[in-house]
Amino acid sequence: MSFVLPGEIVCVEEEALPSGYVYNDGRGYLRSYVVGVAVLNKYKKTVSVKPLVKRGLTLKQGVIVEGLVFSAHEDVAVVRIYRADSVRVDATGLLHVSQISSEYVTDMQDYVRPSDTVKARVLNSTPPYLLTIKEPQLGVIHAYCGSCGEELYLTSTGVLTCNNCGRVEKRKVAVGSYLLVTS
């Protein structure tokens, strides 16, 4: 099919079932976990992504990583790590609620949500990797609207807004690293 990036829409759920490295974002879209090539199996009616990198890599403590939030619960978010120090990787990280902010966190959904792309620091050197986004330069670097699924833009006031439906959402945004900024 085509080259895809993490979080990018591969197809809609009516077209195929998610398979390897593809997830359903809960809004009707199937998105990629990894950088790779999307492959549609017409006979099985499945879509998968063939990763560009297949080798395993052990991450070191203190390294900065980027990953896609796979799921977010009350006290932990699961992150699929796809980049570490500009090198493609395939690993899983856990972001505990105590590693989001130095302040008390009442609702994980105010800081990270599924399908958000985050920049985090690795706290240990063995899988599953424990992550933190407490530092100002760490946090969400790309997010989607919880209402319509469009990309959220960071305004000059530091708020994430949807240009499609106008919804304003709260996240722990990485200072100086958010990808879509409005003037």
182 vs 59, more confident: 59
Predicted confidence (pLDDT) per residue in 15-63, tens digit: 999 988 898 888 899 998 888 999 999 999 999 999 887 655 578 999 9
Tokens 């439906």 belong to 165
Return the closest-CA partner of residue 84 out of 50, 52, 61, 111: 61
Answer for the pair 29, 9: CB distance below 8 angstroms, yes or no: yes
CA distance 154 to 143: 10
Burial status of residue 132 (CB atoms within 10 A of its CB: 0-12, 13-18, 19 or more): middle
Q: Quick one: pLDDT at residue 161?
A: 95
Return the domain boundaries, the chain. Answer: 3-51, 64-140
Q: What is the fold of 3-51?
A: OB fold (Dihydrolipoamide Acetyltransferase, E2P) (2.40.50)
Q: CB 84: neighbour CB atoms within 10 A? A: 20
Predicted confidence (pLDDT) per residue in 102-151, tens digit: 899 888 888 999 999 999 999 998 888 999 999 999 999 999 999 999 99
Task: Beginning with the edge strand found earlier in the chain, give each strand of the sheet holding 46-51 in spatial order.
Answer: 3-4, 36-41, 46-51, 17-18
pTM of structure: 0.69
Q: CB 161: neighbour CB atoms within 10 A? A: 17
- DSSP labels, the chain: --EE-TT-EEEETTT-EE-TTEEE-SSSEEEESSSEEEEEETTTTEEEEEES-----PPPTT-EEEEEEEEE-SSEEEEEEEEETTEEEEEEEEEEGGGT-SSPPS-GGGT--TT-EEEEEE--SSSSEEEE--STT-EEEE-B-TTT-PBEEE-TTS-EEETTT--EE---BPTTT-S-B--
What pLDDT band is residue 87 in, cutting at 50, 70 and 90?
Answer: confident
Q: CB 80: neighbour CB atoms within 10 A? A: 20
Q: Quick one: pLDDT at residue 27?
A: 87
Q: Is the peptide bond before 128 cis (omega within 30 degrees of 0)?
A: yes
32 vs 86, more confident: 32
Q: Quick one: pLDDT at residue 158?
A: 84
Q: Quick one: pLDDT at residue 55?
A: 54
Average pLDDT, the chain: 90
Domain 64-140 belongs in CATH node 2.40.50.140:
yes
